[in-house]
Amino acid sequence: MYFLIVTFGFLLAMRGANPALLQKPVEGLKCTWRGAVDFFLTASLTLALWAFAATFEKIQAGVREYTILGPGIVVFLLSRYQKKTDLFFLSVLASVFMINSKQPDLLQGILLAWVVSAGIALFQACFLGLRYKLFFSHVPVPMKGWPILCLLAGFISVVLGSFGTLVF
Amino acid sequence: MKLPESLFSRMLLAYLPFMVYPYGLFKAGVAALWIVAFFWGTVVFFWFTRRLFPGRSLKYAFPLWLIVWAQAVWTLTKLPPYWIASVFFLVPVSFLGDTAKPGHVRVFSRELPRSQYPSIGAERRLGPSKLPFWKRNKKFGRYFFEQVLTGIGFAGFVILLALVREIVGKRLGMQAFEQPAGMLFVAAAVAFLWENQPYRKRSQHLSISENLKLGPSKSPLMKRK
């Protein structure tokens, strides 16, 4: 779960948000947390629908077998309905798959979905704040771009890792 | 919508979902080869079948294609579906979009000849090419050369990081390198080396602090027209 939070937190921070929000950190933070709520609701709804489908005996075998295709189509439709990016769809699908494989119980699954979405939002918020601070600091020219972004992500994941040992 | 990416960005972004797999060197190599093969297969498949998809349905077909394959691979090999995110990032930005701008590929400071081939969406918008068959084939070759290069670069990047994870994390016992933090630090080092290749031109834009230091008259950001 910790790997998932760091990976998709970094990806969503880099390619999920509008780059213009970087210059308006307050708006960026609002968007980040709104995105986290959408993430949580989409993942929870998919988990709930899948758990509901599993209660029907006739389709139980199919539900167990198609653990990617079924939730994948649901997540795809939900993200298209919300006009989200393809990255959002892929992140939610990965989270739902991991939660389903680790925690078949619905309530525990929803709790895990909340933890994952909060973790991703926390990562994005820290990343946004640090990137904003970098605007006003003297970053050496050779370090600009991917090197400094990977370093920032690495430092945030060290901090989240210590929280992660308490949560997971 | 995808943003335009350079070769290195595509490799790095495609590696990030791969980081979730807790695989050793051999398994990581096999999974990376599968991703590259699937990526090439996807490009070829959509290239030859693009006329069969009506209107904007290509944009919907691609994610559904990924889900179906993720399910098939999970059923056959139990490979978790994170690899589809890697394929998504490897696929060029103009692949299914309406833009006709080709991506520029830099390898070790040398810019490769740009592929003038329009994207599948742009080709549909512009109408069928009037070029003779042999010239179309040449551009087709250039387009695929870019994708081949991206695939090889991604596989190399994954194997390099898996090797570092294996040696430093497992043999030398440095736990940090078995965590995402360690891998991100290694990726930062690789990015640093890549971005600072000799003879490479860097962006001439100044940071905000440098602009503030220079003041309104000298700052290129505050030039008056």
pLDDT reported for residue A40: 92
Contact between A136 and A25 (Cβ < 8 Å): no
Chain A contacts of B84, Cβ < 8 Å? 90
Question: pLDDT digit string (tens) for B82-119?
Answer: 889 888 888 876 566 544 344 444 444 444 444 444 55
Interface-testing mutation among B192, B200, B205, B208, with chain A (most A C-beta atoms within 10 A)? B192
Chain B 34-63, residues with CB within 8 Å of chain A CB atoms? 60, 63
Cβ within 8 Å, pair A76-B67: yes
pLDDT tens digits for range A124-150: 888 888 888 887 788 787 788 888 888
Would you call B81 and A14 a contact, using CB atoms and an 8 Å cutoff? no
The whole-number pLDDT of residue B124 equals 53
The reported pLDDT for the residue numbered A41 is: 92
The better pLDDT of the pair B160, A144 is held by: B160
Tallying the residues shown for chain A, one arrives at 168
The pLDDT assigned to B137 comes to 57
**Span A78-99, mean pLDDT?**
88
The reported pTM is 0.78
- A9-60 residue pLDDT tens: 888 888 776 665 667 778 878 888 888 899 999 999 998 988 888 888 888 7
How many whole angstroms separate alpha carbon B141 and alpha carbon B144? 5
Give, as one character, the DSSP assignment of residue B58. Answer: H
| pLDDT for residue B116 | 45
ipTM, two decimals, is 0.85
CB contact under 8 A, B180 and A72: no
d(CA A164, CA A109): 17
Q: Mean pLDDT across the stretch A68-92?
A: 87
For residue B212, give the chain A residue with the closest CA.
A136
Decide if B84 contacts B67 (C-beta within 8 A).
yes
Q: What would the two tokens of residue B30 be?
A: 């096999």
Lowest mean pLDDT among B8-22, B120-134, B158-172, B206-220: B206-220
